[in-house]
Chain A
Amino acid sequence: MRFLHTADWQLGMTRHFLSDEDQALFDEARLEAITRIGQLADERSCAFVVVAGDVFETNQPTPRTIGRALERLRDVPVPVLLLPGNHEPYNPGSVYRSRAFLDGCPDHVEVLHDRTPRHPAADVEVIGAPWTSKQPLTDLVTETCAGAPADGARRVIVGHGNADVLSGDHGAAGTVHVAALEEHLAAGRARYVALGDRHSTASVGSTGRIWFSGAPEPTSYREDDAGNVLVVELPDDGDHRPDVEAVRIGTWRFVELVRELDGDADLEALLADLDALEDRARTIVKVKVQGTLSLTQAARLDTELERRADLFGALEHPERHTDIVVRPTDGDLDGLELTGYAATAMARLREDSRADGDLARAATDALALLVRLDAEVRA
């Protein structure tokens, strides 16, 4: 018996660093992921699909977001079980109780809004551990598993929440306590626990039965292995571990380039690394640099990043004055060949730039501006 495990679609998510056009592409990619999941389920003969929480980014998405998601779900050829997660708990204000969702929800899509066992296919039982509030007081997953009979049945628990073994936080709301959960698994209460919340694919514990599928499309720089779904094979024999295969379906990626810049060579290397990135239209890059740059180098960095900005899904600049230190150098200013009062003004600004605080910042920026304007005048 095979099914598909996914989670954290985060439909409706927006990113402030994306332009409107790129945001639209970003949205479309995550809707497209639903379609690919449906195709994969069909290709791999999965009996059903479980989505382990955070289907929506918020409990109040727009009707447009709901409608488009349901439209994609309609095309998935197998039953789909959706679990309310921490982003959209099944409370009275839940998206799953909204008119837009209820009216448009296809018959083969079911919300696991309580712990009632479901049977999406023969010889398998699925029990959801839905979030019903933003702050659950207990370990919902372990609690749900504990509530199942220790009968060795082919039972899948679908839950949501970070695992204590990964986060190290045992007290956070909704944290899954893996050791306790494994005891229940060992007692034959379930054969597989499909988890969501962590956007990177991971197996936790020692049993090979507890998995985070990760998000099908990445959502932030912190994720190290996002963009996968899991095809899970549950053998007839309960003693055998499930066969879990991570299948990559993600198309976007987040890249964080962290570099030390201390001169032209470092600068050139950074630009080369940027230029070497592939599929840049669906790559979101954050350049984090540290070090000291001259005015000319800083201006060049700004200019070069600006020039490449449109090539990427998004290109986040380093914050001037926080990530890098800009120091006017002789080389920056000698080339200006200023005389008279302009030379006097420049000398004073340079003196100010060596101080600390806002004055130095403004003086440095003023010198950078002077370099640029002088170049424009000369041109």
Chain B
Amino acid sequence: MRIHRIALTDVRGFGPRVEVELDPAGVTVIEAPNETGKSTLFDAVDVALRYKDSSKHRDVKSLWPVDRDAPCTIEVELSCGGTHLVLTRTYRRSPATVLRLLAPTPATHSGDEAHDRLREVLDAEVDQTLYEALRFTQGRDLDAVALGASGSLTAALDRAAGGEAGQEDGALFDRVERTYLHWFTSSGRARDPLSGPAQRLAQATEQLEELRARAAALSADAEALAEVEQELPTLDRQRDEQLRPQLEQVRERRREVDAAKASTDAASARVATAAAELERARERRERREQLRRQRDELAEQVAADEAASAPARERLQQLQAALERGEAQLSDAQGERDTAERARERAQLALDLHDADRRLEVLADRVARVEELRAAVGPKEDELAAIAIDDAAIAQLADAQREVHVAEAQQRVGAPTVRLAPTRDLEVDLDGEPTPLAAGAAHTVTVASSFVLEDPAVGRLEVVPGDRADALREAVVDAKDRLARACRALGVDGLADAERRRDRHRELLGAVTQDRRDLERLLEGSDADALAGELRRARGRRDGLAERLEDDARGTSPAPDHEALLRARDEAGAAARDAATALDAARTQRAQLAGAVQEQHTAVQVARSTLAGMQERLADLETQLAEERAALDDAALDAAVDTAEQAHRALQATAASARAALEELDPDLVAFEVDRLSTALEAVEERRAALGERAAQLRGSLAVRGQEGIGELLQAAEDEYDRARAADERAQARAAAARCLYEAMAAAREEAYQAYRAPLRDAVGALARKLYGREVELDLDDELAISQRTLDGVTLPFEQLSAGAREQLAILAALAAAELAGEDGVPFVLDDALGYTDLRRLERLGALLGQVEDAQVVVLTCLAERFRHVGNARIVALQDLRRAAADQPTLGAVD
């Protein structure tokens, strides 16, 4: 769209008609101070193109002049596509619309028709999205210009990308997308229009299957009942015409069999009675015979037993005689054994006496030695007790002696010394002791105490020791005192004496110790008194033995020695043992004889008892036989048996006849037939009953289910299934078509967008390089808006650019779009824009605008100077126009 001319009359601040002409291809700069109606020009164009003359929309009202009640008239001349027109709208007063078409076919429309024709042209030819995108007004949001929705731009880009120009595709795509979303969700799931028929089909299928199953069950029941009803009469015929008559026949035959069987049974019973009678007679005769045989046998046995018992009695007598002899031998053996025993005891006694004598001697010797030792040791112990000097006392005494020597040595060393070398022999008083000193010899005198040297020729020299000499002397005196006390305590004269006495003590101690050991050995752990007691007891024992021997061995002399005595005792012991052995043998033999006698005696007694019992039994048998014969003699008994045998044979013949008659009737076959037919009849009756019950069940079931109209319901379900399937298939096909179309268009659209991006980016990039004068790269997003800028290698998202940069890039994008859209484009309007842009960039931007050829650019500014770099722009001074209009004579307010 190109706007050629705008004329306003009584619009906002405009009074008389003001007409502004615009350059349709190139830049028009409309200059006017602020608040003088620059923006009103395009606001008025917007209203005129959009609202009917009768509209009271606030956009319309905003154009009304506030200071007068005048018609508000807007006239716009524009061209779009191949149409060139002039639109005149009058609002508020005398509203009117006149549309004058200048090309392609001149025509004039008015009123609503004019409005409709106008909208028709504009809707077809004007890219509203682009129109709004290319309106830059002061204070507009500096978001990146998104041109993706612009049909004319995309058409232009399509051309640039190698496509074809055409109509707006966005609406079609929206419609395709809506259609797709009618069937599917955005994630591709089926929506109700698609899933609904599928569910309906599923329900119909389920319903159909259920009804088919029910119908099949019903049909099966009907067939089953038909079979039952067919079988029941067959069973009745089988029962009434076959089984029952046949059963009656065989039952009649069974009655005959029963009668024959009764006869046979009676005959058999009689035979049994006769047989029992016969048996009894035979048994009686048999018993008689047996009794007689028993009696004979027993009599024979009694006689035999009596003959056999005599040897046993004889043997008993022999054994009794042998027993008496054995007892006499036993008595002899006992006498011999007693004699031998006494000899052995005597020999032992002699031996014991001999041993007692020996022991008595030994004991007496030991007692004598003990006494001797005890007599010797007593004086030694007394002496030993008198000497109380031991090694400790000696050591103590030696210490005292050593202390004396030490004190004396200290005195000698510590006391002053006087050395004298007399020229003549002298005698000096030394500690009161006259001491000679030979001439010519040197003498040393220790001044332990005072000493005096007197020489009549010389005078008296007295040397007196000091305190130290006194102390040393006193120490010597003390040591000597202690030594003297120790000697006195020990009762010795000195250390040498003490050592002598200690040696004697040792000697005595050794002798006493030896004596005591000897004594202990003799005593053998006992004491002297006990040893003496033992001696006394040994003597008493010896005397006792001697007395017993004396009593027992009168007339015999004791054995000469111990060895002989031992031999004599052992011999006597052996003789005693032999006698005892002989005695045991005699006892054993006697006991054996006594056992044999007892055993034989018992045997004889038993035989006697047995014989007595048999004799008694024999008597009983004789008595019993006699009694039986008295009741019925043997001949009568034989006759009774014969009679019973004859009766039994006759009855057996009768019974055999009866059995033959019964066999003739074949009772087993009759019984089998009765069973077979009865069972068959029962089976038929049971089957009938079961079938009757089954039939009743089936009839009941059919009666109930027959009322449900399943057949018709099934038909309806089949119809519904057919309809549901058809509906589902239709929905599937339609949804598939919608999906196919949508996917094809979406794919193509995406590809196109990819292709569009390049030419638009190139166009904006070329402008940007001119503006910034150096290397700059721009990226576009899916909506064809600038998403980021790379300048001197620094990339920034669009939102982070400065307000000036964002404004400039937005204008460059719009300018590129306007140029790309070419003839299909719309006016690019800059209304007091570029407020953020510095002068240098403004100049370059102006120069860029000046290079525009294919687009229509309208710059509204309060400072035309800002755009002096726009080369061949048409400059319109709006104030001048308004002033000129105001100067025109008023034509009146009347249309």
Contacts and interface: CB of A to CB of B under 8 A. Distances in A.
Contacts of B738: 366, 369
Contacts of B714: 58, 60
Contacts of A12: 709, 711-712, 715
A349 B741 contact: yes
B741 A366 contact: yes
B562 interface: no
Interface in A29-84: 57-65
Contact of B165 (A339, A341, A369, A370): A339
With most chain B CB atoms within 10 A of its CB, the pick from A13, A92, A97, A342 is A92
A340 interface: yes
B513 interface: no
A320 interface: yes
A53 to B, nearest CB: 16
A337 interface: yes
B167 A337 contact: yes
A16 B722 contact: yes
B218 A93 contact: yes
A342 B748 contact: yes
B715 A98 contact: no
B737 A369 contact: yes
B197 to A, nearest CB: 15
B740 A366 contact: yes
Interface string B96-137: 000000000000000000000000000000000000000000
B718 interface: yes
Contacts of B167: 337-339
Contact of A60 (B176, B712, B744): B712
A345 B719 contact: no
A319 B296 CA distance: 132
Interface in A299-350: 320, 337-346, 348-349
Interface residues of A, number: 51
B694 to A, nearest CB: 11
B172 A374 contact: yes
Interface in B331-361: none
B175 A345 contact: no
A91 interface: yes
B173 interface: yes
A348 B748 contact: yes
A46 to B, nearest CB: 30
Interface stretch (B223-231, B396-404, B762-770): B223-231
A362 interface: yes
Contact of A340 (B169, B171, B703, B734): B169
A374 B171 CA distance: 9
A377 interface: yes
A100 interface: yes
A134 to B, nearest CB: 8
Nearest to B713: A62
B670 to A, nearest CB: 43
Contacts of A139: none
A376 interface: yes
A64 to B, nearest CB: 7
A249 B744 CA distance: 57
Given A16-B718, A16-B723, A133 B752 contact: no
Contact of B176 (A15, A58, A362, A370): A370
A92 B227 CA distance: 9
Contact of B734 (A91, A345, A365): A365
A351 to B, nearest CB: 10
B169 A339 contact: yes
A207 interface: no
B215 interface: yes
Given A16-B722, A92-B225, A377 B740 contact: no
A14 interface: yes
A325 to B, nearest CB: 15
Given A16-B718, A340-B155, A61 B709 contact: yes
Contacts of A341: 169, 173, 745, 748-752
A61 B712 contact: yes
Nearest to A346: B744
Nearest to A358: B736
A98 B740 contact: no
Q: Which of B708, B714, B719, B739 has the most CB of A within 10 A?
A: B719
Interface string A351-379: 00000000001110111111001101100
Contacts of A15: 719
B163 interface: yes
A99 interface: yes
A62 B741 contact: no
Given A99-B703, A377-B171, A57 B715 contact: yes
A342 B715 contact: no
Given A65-B712, A369-B738, A98 B226 contact: no
A365 B748 contact: no
B801 interface: no
A57 B711 contact: yes
B698 interface: yes
A338 B707 CA distance: 63
B716 A14 contact: yes
Given A92-B222, A349-B740, A376 B711 contact: no
A132 interface: yes
Contacts of A94: 222
Contacts of A377: 171-172, 175
Contact of B752 (A57, A340, A346): A340
B88 interface: no
A91 B222 contact: yes
Contacts of A362: 736-737, 739-740
Given A93-B221, A345-B744, A340 B158 contact: yes
B710 A60 contact: yes
B179 interface: yes
B737 A366 contact: yes
B886 interface: no
Given A16-B718, A93-B218, A99-B706, A340 B711 contact: no
A92 B698 contact: yes
A138 to B, nearest CB: 15
Given A98-B707, A349-B741, A337 B166 contact: yes
Contacts of A345: 741, 744-745, 747-749
A339 B171 CA distance: 13
Contacts of B691: none
Contact of B215 (A60, A63, A338): A60
Given A14-B716, A99-B703, A369 B741 contact: yes
Nearest to A316: B726
Contacts of B249: none
A95 interface: yes
Contacts of B164: 339-340, 343
A12 B718 CA distance: 14
B706 A365 contact: no
B709 A65 contact: yes
A365 B737 CA distance: 5
B733 interface: yes
B808 interface: no
Given A60-B711, A93-B222, A377-B172, A98 B703 contact: yes
Nearest to A359: B740
Contact of B702 (A58, A61, A65, A93): A93
Interface of A: 12-16, 57-65, 91-95, 97-100, 132-133, 320, 337-346, 348-349, 361-363, 365-370, 373-374, 376-377
Given A342-B749, A343-B166, 9 more contacts: A16-B719, A62-B712, A340-B154, A342-B166, A342-B745, A343-B164, A344-B748, A345-B749, A349-B744
10 contacts: A14-B716, A16-B719, A57-B712, A58-B714, A60-B218, A92-B222, A92-B702, A341-B748, A370-B741, A373-B175
Top 3 closest pairs, chain A to chain B, by CB: A339-B166, A58-B711, A93-B222
Interface of B: 154-155, 158, 163-167, 169, 171-173, 175-176, 179, 215, 218-219, 221-223, 225-226, 229, 698-699, 702-703, 705-716, 718-720, 722-723, 733-734, 736-741, 744-745, 747-752
